[in-house]
Amino acid sequence: MAALSVTETAIPGLLVFDLPLHGDARGWFKENWQRAKMLELGLPDFGPVQNNMSFNAAPGSTRGLHAEPWDKLISLAHGRIFGAWVDLRPGDGFGTVVTLEMGPDKAVYVPRGVANGYQALEPDTVYSYLVNEHWSPDARGSYTYLNLADETVAIDWPIPLIQAEISAADAVHPRLADVTPMAPKRTVVVGAKGQLGRALMALLPDALGLDLPEFDLRDPEAIASVPWGQVGAIINAAAYTAVDAAETAEGRRNCWDVNVTCLARLVEVARAHRIPLAHVSTDYVFDGTEELHTEDEPFTPLGVYGQTKAAGDALVATLPRYWITRTSWVIGDGNNFVRTMASLAERGISPSVVGDQYGRLTFTTDLAAGLVHLVTTRAASGTYNLTNTGPTLSWAQIAKRVFELSGRSADDVAEVTTQEYFADKAGIAPRPTHSTLDLTKLEATGFTPADADERLVAYLS
């Protein structure tokens, strides 16, 4: 008896499975959908939530062509069909056709945006399919249709359509020339107005950007207003990052609310709708005693901010599909250390800067590009360190470099210890001494961030 096997087709993602039928004098038995075995053969873990069946009384019953806004796995319980699939997704494959005559010994995985149609070839054909979204009357507005008789794709139906049983709705679907390709699922950027959010939106112009005050994760109605069924990934760029304010009574409450409570709601959205979540973390989850931090180093946060981010990482890691990107010393379109030093240099001020905290800068252009890379390539779920490349430097060394690039002498920056710098300041959060993150795991995915000094030169120019 043949084993379960899979065949790829001319339409990317459209897979044909050969299902072993175990039969005797009583009939047959088959494993119609076997998650573990099929995943091993390449079936996406598409998470079906609904099983539909269609009974076709007579040969010639013909349905389609419908591209639906979800994935499906089709099979037969009885009878035979002639199946036809047409790629209606944007790109070079638009209009590609695959046809197949099939019985109960086959199953076909149909990805979102590929139109599906079939014609019953035997009486009492029972057509069954699993889908990974719940159907509702409103869902029809998201379908993309193609006429069964379209001359361009020219499907050779075994029973001519003039003799077939076709619904009135299917008979008037548009020809291929009039079909608008089904748009891919959108990415949602939470915290779209922040400096990282703006960098992400620049890379993802079709993304849905969400931020306060219009979108508040504390508001169930705001969460319900988002069409999550049409979302392919969530990137969370929102966070409470005022590390010193987090040490106050009010700041502690706000920091836990944003970085843990609100994040927990976003995690539950991702879980409920089976959406991959990319989340930004920080070097502050460590105490900084290790000179180089790897992704598997245990949490050792020193302050409230680091504690909330560590708790958030643990929440995100409960999802089936996620990417936690741990970063440090972020520089983007907004107030930050580099802008402050450049302003001091321009105004003729000679600052004192901490010289015993070490790390690398992370420019939001590269942080955003790395996040998009992990999401679009569907890298393995897990935690990835993501900063710019280059040597480890102290804050004072970076300040001196900013002064040089601004036409001032590096000697105009005085180097002090952390203890000296904060000696007369109250309510200061503890900082990790060492913040350099090992980038080996990220680079193995095919993404290497730019050199920090090159980015610094471009940023100041």
Q: Give catalytic residue positions.
A: 66, 129
CA distance 454 to 452: 5
Exposure of 118 by Cβ count < 10 A (0-12 exposed, 13-18 middle, 19+ buried)?
Answer: buried
Tally of CA atoms within 13 A in the half-sphere of 167 that contains its CB = 10
Instruction: Tell me how many degrees the CA angle 122-78-104 measures, rounded to the nearest 5.
Output: 105
Phi, psi torsion values for 83, nearest 5 degrees: -100, 145
Instruction: Tell me how many degrees the CA angle 412-413-417 measures, rounded to the nearest 5.
Output: 150
Report the relative pairing of strands 97-102 and 125-131 from DSSP bridges: unpaired
Q: Are 196 and 237 in contact (CB under 8 A)?
A: yes
Instruction: Tell me how many degrees the CA angle 353-358-361 measures, rounded to the nearest 5.
Output: 90
Q: Are 148 and 161 in contact (CB under 8 A)?
A: yes
Task: Count CB neighbours of 103 within 10 A.
Answer: 16
Q: Are 276 and 234 in contact (CB under 8 A)?
A: yes
Per-residue CA distances from 452 to 111, 370, 392, 457 (Å): 40, 14, 10, 9
Please give the full DSSP string across 154-188, using - where no structure is assigned.
----SS-GGGSB--HHHHTPPPGGGPPPPPPPEEE
Longest dimension (CA), the chain: 95
Report the relative pairing of strands 362-363 and 414-416 from DSSP bridges: unpaired
Task: Count CB neighbours of 367 within 10 A.
Answer: 25
Please give the full DSSP string across 98-131, using - where no structure is assigned.
EEEEE-TTEEEEE-TTEEEEEEE-STTEEEEEEE
Tally of CA atoms within 13 A in the half-sphere of 321 that contains its CB = 22
Task: Count CB neighbours of 317 within 10 A.
Answer: 14
* Strand arrangement, sheet containing 144-145: 97-102, 81-87, 114-120, 62-67, 144-145
